[in-house]
Structure 1
Amino acid sequence: MRPANRLRWRLTLLYCVATVISGAVLLLLVVAVARGLPTADTAVPGAEIRLARPVPPPRDGGLIHLGQDASDRYTRQMLLVPGLALLIMVPISLGFGWFFAGRVLRPVRTMTGSLQRISGRNVHERLAVTGPRDEFKDLADTIDGLLGRLETALDGHKRFVANAAHELRTPLTVEHALLEEPLIDPAATVGEYRANFEQLLAVNRARGRLLESLLTLAGSESAREGGEPVDLDALVRLALAERAAELTRNALRVEATIRPARITGDPTLIARLIANLCDNAIHYNEPGGVVEVTARVSDGHARLVIANTGPEVPPDQVDRLFEPFQRLRRVSDDGHHGLGLSIVRAIAQAHGARVLARARHGGGLTIEIVFPFRDGEIALSHIGKVD
């Protein structure tokens, strides 16, 4: 028996067993009815009972008497033909069962063949089952939805790999040039070697930060809900204190409204989320600009809002900024790789939080992370966008 036909054989045998049991029950009913027919003890005076061969009425007009042998023969005759018919129905029911099982399983075989042809090259194809809605169509629609999500994930993975390869290729090219320059110059001095080595160290540090960001992004996307209680307000104060010198150096003013707000999650990842939002607000600001920070509980939600002044951000470009390696204005030597906001989104998704972002009128960006409470703890929801 081929493995592909096991279910078909099971359905066939099930159909056959159901037919035989139904026939046996019907035969038992026939026997019960036959036993209830009139006999010598229950005969009515003057009545005539006709069997296969007519029985003449008695001369004295009395009762009709059937012997026990005649009654038994009568019962056997009533059981014989239905019993033979039941035996004949066994192979017939097997044939019909095999046919009907094949018809029932035909959509499964069709979907299986289509799925076997789908691979990474043609993941865009769908089963696209038509017809009235039933269990098989619901299954096909569910599989099509899964294929759609898989296609989106694969496309994002391909873009991420391509962007990461491009970002890593740049420091490798710079390192090669710095190493090659003194080698092709016989008159290179110790000072020139030293200057090149210092640049190599700077490039190496930048590549280390990139790899660290990539690892954080991968770890954030694979994280799960749960964790431990985290004081959001304390982490926000710590992040601002650590960046006080940079804020002063860029002449940025901080307007902070920080209230107690406790959430549940991974404190390391939450701290990285806050740090990335603060760094983004500082780096993409303007001299003498403002960084607005709010942490509070409102409407049953713990909210973190960080806004900054700065260059004008086109509203249709806001969502793109949360993709890996995407920056509004690309600068090759600014030490940033466009991973900050993508890490923010990944950490929020890992905790189930909503990310709400919008362009500010007059320039800058406002980003809000919403942590809704549920049963006394933080239950985080899907990514969204501010209207």
Structure 2
Amino acid sequence: MRLSVLTRFPQSAYRLLVPKRIRLRLTLLYGFLFVLSGAVLLLITYLLVSNATSSFITVESKSAGPQSPGSDPDKPSAGLPPDIGGVARQFGEQSVRQHGAQMHDLLVQSGIALGITTVISIALGWAVAGRVLRPLRTMTSTIRRISARNVHERLAFGGPRDELTELADTVDGLLGRLETALDSHKRFVANAAHELRTPLTLEHALLEESLIDRDATLDSFRENFERLLTISKQQARLLESLLTLSSSERGVDRQERLDLAVLTRQVVDTFRPKIERRGLRLEASIESAALTGDSALVERLVANLLDNAVDYNVPGGLLELRTAVENGRAVVSVANTGQEISPEQVDRLFEPFQRLHRTAGDDHHGLGLSIVRAIAAAHGATLTARARPGGGLYVVAAFPLRRASASHVGPRGHQPPYVPNARTGDSLLARTPESG
């Protein structure tokens, strides 16, 4: 018990003794350093003066002349006045007393001077600390004024390039990122509200029509209910997309051993009927590419890329799908033909609720590629997109490669080698561990 009290005492005493204001702490630090340096300077001066004066007295006391060995020092030397020895001793004693008094006066006067200059140094330290901390107080007051309404304001700290300028520039960069994030959040909320309000308005109109129409038949009720069911499914897909986007932006909670080849084959099998209905030609090259991440999110990334390539294609168009290991990264790329896209519009495609060459009522909410970007960022992957000459889009997602053997397969078990479908014109090269 006593040991614990003793161990806690220095911390509590330190908290009580150390002031909370940094200006006062800097002032005390300046004063302490000045007193310490002044005391060292005073000690050095005292020692130098003391040694120099003692040497001078010793020389003067020996100037009476040398004495022969074995002679009595109390007896007067030959050729000198009889009382010269006593006079010399008196002079030496007086000199020693005078030297001690001078050294004492020097010490006292130096201490007084040190005390006066210490007070002056503390006052100057207080002023200098305030001058040094003035930019920090200015930045603090400016940051306190900034809120969501005026996040566009900046510190705009001028002056030479020093630590304070770097701090102000860092804060300005942070405010810029916050402004961008707030603007993106506002646009996202507004677009989400618009996307949800439109089907709700249509549902309300259909229900109101069914109630007002007194001549409604069973077929009309069934037709309205089918439309309501379709709208409900669209809303469910929208909410699922919003939840996926939100969860992927939070980061990856599960880390699994995956293979892009396995996930891509499963996605292609799911989309094969849709590809056949649209008469598209699929050219795929699927090679094993091991990575670590969330299997559901990575599969959703591949599915969204393929869904975007299918839906925004032209009749009889081309799909190119590839997984491989390139430059030490697991790569999945999807390319498709389609309408021409200007290079300036490519980045905008990955923003939420952005639809090029589409309308709001085509069962697309513009969240597919934004979910792809969020999933890639959550897995530390780089996402590259560019417009293809003649129309269409080319997207590449490169994940950090997991060091593993080529025979490892993802968590869903072993998949047989992929067999191309002659009806869709697939030109698929499936490399297995046996084929290299």
Candidates 307, 312, 326, aligned match of 1:284: 312
CA–CA distance in structure 1, aligned partners of residues 323 and 22 of structure 2 = 59
Candidates 105, 123, 127, aligned match of 1:99: 127
Structure 1 window deviating more from structure 2 (180-189 vs 32-41): it is 32-41
CA–CA distance in structure 2, aligned partners of residues 332 and 30 of structure 1 = 89
Residue 108 (1) aligns with residue 136 (2): yes
Residue 27 (1) aligns with residue 42 (2): yes
CA contact 1:226–1:264 (8 Å) conserved in 2:
no
CA–CA distance in structure 2, aligned partners of residues 224 and 32 of structure 1 = 71
5+ residue gaps, structure 2: 1-18, 65-82, 406-436
What does the per-residue CA deviation read over 1:11-33, in whole Å, with 9 as the maximum and x for residues that have no partner?
11111111111221122223322
Candidates 257, 277, 289, aligned match of 1:249: 277
The corresponding residue for 2:58 is: 42
Would the alpha carbon gap of residues 375 and 69 (structure 1) be closer, same or farther in structure 2, given more than 3 Å must change?
farther
Task: Please give the secondary structure, in 1, of the residue aligned with 2:63.
Answer: coil
User: Within 5 Å, which residues of 2 pair with 1:304-343?
Assistant: 304-343=332-371
Candidates 49, 55, 65, aligned match of 2:92: 65
CA contact 1:286–1:311 (8 Å) conserved in 2:
yes
The corresponding residue for 2:32 is: 17
CA–CA distance in structure 2, aligned partners of residues 225 and 15 of structure 1 = 51
The corresponding residue for 1:196 is: 224
The corresponding residue for 2:421 is: none
Task: Please give the secondary structure, in 1, of the residue aligned with 2:155.
Answer: coil
What one-letter code is carried by the residue in structure 1 that aligns with 2:245? L
Candidates 161, 165, 172, aligned match of 1:144: 172
User: Within 5 Å, which residues of 2 pair with 1:220-239?
Assistant: 220-224=248-252, 227-239=255-267
The corresponding residue for 2:116 is: 88
What one-letter code is carried by the residue in structure 1 that aligns with 2:169? D
Task: Please give the secondary structure, in 2, of the residue aligned with 1:42.
Answer: helix
Please state how far the C-alpha of 1:70 moved relative to its aligned partner. 3.8
Structure 1 window deviating more from structure 2 (325-334 vs 66-75): it is 66-75
What does the per-residue CA deviation read over 1:65-120, in whole Å, with 9 as the maximum and x for residues that have no partner?
13554443232112110011122223222211111111111111111121122111
CA contact 2:280–2:318 (8 Å) conserved in 1:
yes
CA–CA distance in structure 2, aligned partners of residues 99 and 309 of structure 1 = 71
CA contact 2:290–2:403 (8 Å) conserved in 1:
no
CA–CA distance in structure 2, aligned partners of residues 15 and 40 of structure 1 = 39
What does the per-residue CA deviation read over 1:322-341, in whole Å, with 9 as the maximum and x for residues that have no partner?
11111112233322101001
Please state how far the C-alpha of 1:362 moved relative to its aligned partner. 2.2
5+ residue gaps, structure 1: 48-57, 378-387
CA–CA distance in structure 1, aligned partners of residues 169 and 404 of structure 2 = 37
Give the TM-score, by structure 1 length.
0.88
CA–CA distance in structure 2, aligned partners of residues 42 and 238 of structure 1 = 105
User: Within 5 Å, which residues of 2 pair with 1:261-300?
Assistant: 261-300=289-328
CA–CA distance in structure 1, aligned partners of residues 210 and 256 of structure 2 = 54
CA–CA distance in structure 2, aligned partners of residues 5 and 108 of structure 1 = 16
Number of residue equivalences:
364
CA–CA distance in structure 1, aligned partners of residues 159 and 402 of structure 2 = 42
Please state how far the C-alpha of 1:146 moved relative to its aligned partner. 0.8
Give the TM-score, by structure 2 length.
0.78
CA contact 2:252–2:293 (8 Å) conserved in 1:
no
